């Protein structure tokens, strides 16, 4: 018999209070004070965050962790211990030991008897060359959740980790609650899915949601909670009397965020996203059932960040008539006057202007020149000075958005892979005992997902009307290294059948001409009425390289929704 999707019997409540380094500072206290929890997680790390923390550590070896979490614990550590809520965060970043020491000192200052554990072993930078990973400034393996489980089993009040997968925070908590072993693949996969839903905080409760007018936003959005059962099924919800909403739509949107094919690889199990069943189980309650799991991959993914050089930028405002001719004049003058040509020099003219505009800003376009070079002298002061020197010698109305600077170092991200057996996944218990966590014995060569260019013939859907795709289609997009994904979904089955037929790879490229020359993969997730597209190389070498004005591809899906297509009249709303 299938579990009752509205039941909470035998489940544990795992909340999340952070989706990134810089999220709402008060959220930890709000989650602890707002209702019952068994565990509270917090995700502070992203690919770009690891680079930022790497730069911090280069300046001061004692740094490298998310300092905001320490500030949050100043007002919340005592409350967590008092309420018996075990806290699990990846705020340790590149220095989980340093954060654990700081937390122990804080607990002593506060007079709180808190047991602190930390998980490390993910930092492979000292062994990078030996492991065939080159010479990055940071190299961190994505660890699983069983080190967290071991710390919680030993009675830790707070578990600080380095680079675990985002979902591992939830996996570790659930595995500790139910005593799971590596052989419970379906249960672990269910926790992976629940963890993926809550890892980005309020994106699961209506944040960044395509149909945002449906979401109550008259107060700060509540952070999400996963009520995870012993079989891995879960209900996504939030505390009562908080803003936002939890619906099948908000959960679907988050499930599509930064994923690739139907297989969602994690160190403890591979979750099959095309097995997920979602159902509204009450107000602000969405049940996730049916998740199946496969053995995890043999290798762990490794986050590699390299310093690539220095980047500088000039933004020139062009107003009124002859915009393209003015832009061409400045580009010719500027490139001719540069003392040295940078290794990379790109130009982008953003035509934000309109004819016969009522305001000067509406009559203006922006010409952006971006330079990158390993040598800071090439893209530093000489580059900026060249732009300034043309101020009185170029097109009429010349101005810049701000004076150009001297440039700043930038890094690039790339994924690496290493056999999990070569990584010393280690948990340092509150009593000082250090325990090595063996990887899953079920590890195997991962199954491969195959993209589907289209779904075959297109049915006759009757009369159509020209309208934006987003009238009936939601989208969520994000970065995956240098690639980006766009997940699209519909609220109804008939709308999905139509979308599945018409939104092919070729059609997507027609609608988004900027990706026409790139490799695009198309994956089907019919149980969620969803498609997922992965666009290779659209972000260059990742967010830090900043090759697009939207370097994390957050708006790519909304651009797609704005494109006008022929929508069957039967779907009129």
pLDDT in tens, 244-284: 999 999 999 999 999 999 999 999 999 999 999 999 999 99
Residue 3: pLDDT band (50, 70, 90) is very low
Is the separation of the CB atoms in 124 and 302 below 8 Å? Answer: yes
Instruction: Give the torsion through C-alpha atoms of 246, 247, 251, 254, to 10 deg.
Output: -70
Domain ranges of the chain: 12-121+142-294+425-436, 310-412, 464-571
In this prediction, residues 321-339 reach a mean pLDDT of: 98
The Cα 398–Cα 316 span in angstroms is 7
Residue 5: pLDDT band (50, 70, 90) is very low
DSSP letter (8 states) at residue 366: E
Sheet with 158-161, side-by-side order of all strands:
277-282, 285-289, 234-238, 224-228, 12-16, 39-42, 86-89, 158-161, 116-120, 426-428, 434-436
Output the pLDDT for position 546: 61
Give 165-222 as a DSSP string: -TTHHHHHHHHHHHT--TT-HHHHHHHHHHHHHHTTGGGGTTTT-TTGGGS--SSPBP
Contacts of 201 (CB under 8 A, 6+ apart): 16, 17, 18, 19, 20, 23, 24, 27, 43, 207, 223, 224
Contacts of 265 (CB under 8 A, 6+ apart): 296, 297, 301, 446
pLDDT at position 404 over 90: no
pLDDT at position 168 over 60: yes
Is the separation of the CB atoms in 310 and 375 below 8 Å? Answer: yes
Q: What is the CATH number of domain 310-412?
A: 3.30.70
In this prediction, residues 378-398 reach a mean pLDDT of: 96
Residue 545: pLDDT band (50, 70, 90) is low
Handedness of CA 229, 234, 236, 240 (dihedral sign): negative
pLDDT at position 138 over 60: yes
What confidence tens digit (pLDDT) does each residue in 281-326 have? Answer: 999 999 999 999 999 999 999 999 988 899 999 999 999 999 999 9
Output the pLDDT for position 358: 95
Strand partners, 487: 476, 532
Is the separation of the CB atoms in 154 and 437 below 8 Å? Answer: no
Q: From residue 114, how far is each of 84, 103, 104, 237, 549 by CA, in Å?
A: 11, 9, 8, 28, 45
pLDDT at position 230 over 90: yes
Q: From residue 288, how far is each of 227, 259, 426 by CA, in Å?
A: 10, 17, 31
- Max Cα separation, the chain? 79
Output the pLDDT for position 387: 96
In this prediction, residues 516-537 reach a mean pLDDT of: 96
Is the separation of the CB atoms in 98 and 162 below 8 Å? Answer: no
Output the pLDDT for position 543: 60
Output the pLDDT for position 314: 96
What confidence tens digit (pLDDT) does each residue in 453-509 have? Answer: 887 889 999 999 999 999 999 999 998 888 999 999 999 999 999 999 999 999 999
Is the separation of the CB atoms in 520 and 505 below 8 Å? Answer: yes
* More reliable by pLDDT, 128 or 552: 128
Average pLDDT of every residue of the chain: 94
Tell me, letter by letter, the H, E, C secondary structure of 91-143: CCCCCHHHHHHHHHHHHHHHCCCCCEEEEECCECHHHCCCCCCCCCCEEEECE
Strand partners, 52: none
Residue 550: pLDDT band (50, 70, 90) is confident
Contacts of 556 (CB under 8 A, 6+ apart): 477, 484, 486, 512, 535, 538, 550
Output the pLDDT for position 560: 97
- The percent of residues above 70 in pLDDT, for the chain, comes to 97
Output the pLDDT for position 544: 58
User: How far is Cα of residue 37 from the mean position of the Cα atoms in its chain?
Assistant: 25
Output the pLDDT for position 67: 94
The Cα 233–Cα 307 span in angstroms is 42
DSSP letter (8 states) at residue 497: H
Termini Cα distance of the chain: 38
Contacts of 184 (CB under 8 A, 6+ apart): 232
The Cα 102–Cα 163 span in angstroms is 19
SS3 of 529, please?
A: coil
The Cα 268–Cα 288 span in angstroms is 19
């Amino acid at each position: 018999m299938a579990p009752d999707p509205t039941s909470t019997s035998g489940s544990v409540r795992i909340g999340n209070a952070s989706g990134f380094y810089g999220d709402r500072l008060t959220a930890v206290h709000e989650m602890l004070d707002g209702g019952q929890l068994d565990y509270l997680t917090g995700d502070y790390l992203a690919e770009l965050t690891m680079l930022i923390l790497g730069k911090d550590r280069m300046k001061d070896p004692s740094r490298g962790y998310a300092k905001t979490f320490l500030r949050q614990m100043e007002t919340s550590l005592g409350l967590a211990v008092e309420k018996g809520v075990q806290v699990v965060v990846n705020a340790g970043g590149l220095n989980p030991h340093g954060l654990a020491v700081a937390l122990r000192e804080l607990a002593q200052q506060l007079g709180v008897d808190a047991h602190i554990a930390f998980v490390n072993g993910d930092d492979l930078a000292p062994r990078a060359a030996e492991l065939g990973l080159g010479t990055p400034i940071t190299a961190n393996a994505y660890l699983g959740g069983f080190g967290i489980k071991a710390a919680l089993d030993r009675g830790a009040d707070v578990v600080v980790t380095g680079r675990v997968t985002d979902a591992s925070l939830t996996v570790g908590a659930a595995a500790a609650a139910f005593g799971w072993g590596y052989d419970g693949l379906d249960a672990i996969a269910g926790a992976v899915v629940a963890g993926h839903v809550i890892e980005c905080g309020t994106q699961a409760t209506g944040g960044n949601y395509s149909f945002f007018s449906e979401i109550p936003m008259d107060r700060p959005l509540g952070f999400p909670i996963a009520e995870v059962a012993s079989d891995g099924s879960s209900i996504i919800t939030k505390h009562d009397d908080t803003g936002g909403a939890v619906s099948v739509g908000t959960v679907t949107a988050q499930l599509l965020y930064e994923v690739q094919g139907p297989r969602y690889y994690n160190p403890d199990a591979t979750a099959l996203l095309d097995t997920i069943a979602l159902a509204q189980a009450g107000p602000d309650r969405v049940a996730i059932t049916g998740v199946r799991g496969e053995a995890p991959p043999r290798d762990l993914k490794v986050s590699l960040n390299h310093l690539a050089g220095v980047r500088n930028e000039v933004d020139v405002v062009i107003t009124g008539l002859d915009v393209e001719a003015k832009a061409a004049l400045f580009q010719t003058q500027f490139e001719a006057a540069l003392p040295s040509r940078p290794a990379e020099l790109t130009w982008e003219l953003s035509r934000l202007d309109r004819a016969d505009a009522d305001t000067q800003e509406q009559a203006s376009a922006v010409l952006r020149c971006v330079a990158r070079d390993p040598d800071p002298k090439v893209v530093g002061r000489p580059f900026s000075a060249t732009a300034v020197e043309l101020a009185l010698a170029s097109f009429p109305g010349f101005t810049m958005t701000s004076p150009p600077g001297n440039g700043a170092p930038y890094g690039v991200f790339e994924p690496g892979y290493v056999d999990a057996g070569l990584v010393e996944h280690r948990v340092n218990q509150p009593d000082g005992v250090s325990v090595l966590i063996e990887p899953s014995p079920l590890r195997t060569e991962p199954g491969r997902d195959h993209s589907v260019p289209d779904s075959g013939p297109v049915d006759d859907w009757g009369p159509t009307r020209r309208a934006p795709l987003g009238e009936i289609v939601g989208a969520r997009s994000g970065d995956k290294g240098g690639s980006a994904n766009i997940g699209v979904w519909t609220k109804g089955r008939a709308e999905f059948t139509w979308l599945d037929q018409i939104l092919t790879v070729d059609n997507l490229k027609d609608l988004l001409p900027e990706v026409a020359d790139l490799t695009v993969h198309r994956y089907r997730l019919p149980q969620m009425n969803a498609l997922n597209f992965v666009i290779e190389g659209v972000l260059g070498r990742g967010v830090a390289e900043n090759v697009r004005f939207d370097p994390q591809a957050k708006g790519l899906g909304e651009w797609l929704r704005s494109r006008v297509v022929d929508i069957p009249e039967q779907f009129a709303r």
